[in-house]
Amino acid sequence: MTVRVGVAGASGYAGGEVLRLLLGHPDVQIGALTAGASAGMTLGQYQPHLLPLADRVLGDTTVEQLSGHDVVFLALPHGKSAKIAAELGEDTLVIDCGADHRLEDPAAWQRWYGGDHAGTWPYGLPELAGQREKLKGAKRVAVPGCYPTVSSLALAPAFKDGLVEPEAVIVAVSGTSGAGKSLKPHLLGSEVMGSVSAYGVGGTHRHTPEIVQNLSKVANEKISVSFTPVLAPMPRGILATCSATLKPGKTLDDALAAYDNAYADEPFVHVLPSGSWPTTGAVLASNAVQLQVTVDPDLRRLIVVATIDNLTKGTAGAAVQCMNIALGLPETTGLSTVGVAP
């Protein structure tokens, strides 16, 4: 089975990571590569690490360029995917790496992103209960945000098993690639190096409603979330510290059993041995999720620390994983849990 794939937004970080993974996928033939302002330039000018594709010329991101592919990945800015997706044929598997089709509530989309809600697609986090079945045979997939991926996987087993009260506090430290390639003064090397800064403080980050949506669905009740993202002087990776109050009678042993049961058969999610704690370096360039669980006995608060590579499992790896599921290919094809070190 050979699948012809087009990638829109190939000059950006997410598009480049999709292409890096597709180059190692045995069932993929890479077709059209498109971009916005970079159209007409070669891919190598923006993604010099993708040597096999370096001489390919980027086309305009149009339906004409992207039609005729079995799969199209849309690695576009938020609000830009819906129009292109609506014009691609229903026989094309369209995988949106942006936010356009993640949220189920039109009012939430209006509040956090603005404009018309484009509708909701099957959500591309197969490790959440019930999601893998929804992705099988799907022709439209919404890839989760990077922060919601790590936060949801960190806390879902606790909420699913009713171990904690319906609230969570999440502080997640991320590399700068999560903000994309657009030039922004606060992301200049001289501003980032040697400095850690919080942003989106006080429940203002756009990923907050997505985290709430995911955790509320697994808990079968509304979950309140306090989410604070932190920018670290590194190019990629997320380390999230997530906590919630244990319900009366619940223990650390209950939590460990819940996490072992939830992730024992998941190829990409790994609960670390007792005493080991996740590090961003351990998952660099891999599709792995590493996490550890403990309880603060004085506060009776469950604490989960989890890490992913924001560009791989947080975006492009999830997109390829969902493509595999949707097409009936082995889920792990073209993906690895092996990181890069040092």
The residues assigned a catalytic role are 146
Q: Dig out the tokens for 155 from the structure.
A: 């806390």
Nearest CA among 338, 332, 308 for reference residue 320:
332
Nearest CA among 44, 74, 75 for reference residue 57:
44
Cα–Cα distances in angstroms (integers) from residue 8 to residues 36, 107, 138, 282, 311, in the given order: 9, 28, 20, 30, 16
- Whole-angstrom distance, CA of residue 103 vs CA of residue 126: 16
Asked if 178 and 150 count as a contact pair (C-beta separation under 8 A), the reply is: no
**C-alpha 89: how far from its chain's center?**
25
Q: Dig out the tokens for 128 from the structure.
A: 């959440």
Asked if 74 and 95 count as a contact pair (C-beta separation under 8 A), the reply is: yes
Maximal C-alpha separation, the chain: 63
Q: How far apart are the first and last CA of the chain?
A: 36
DSSP 42: B
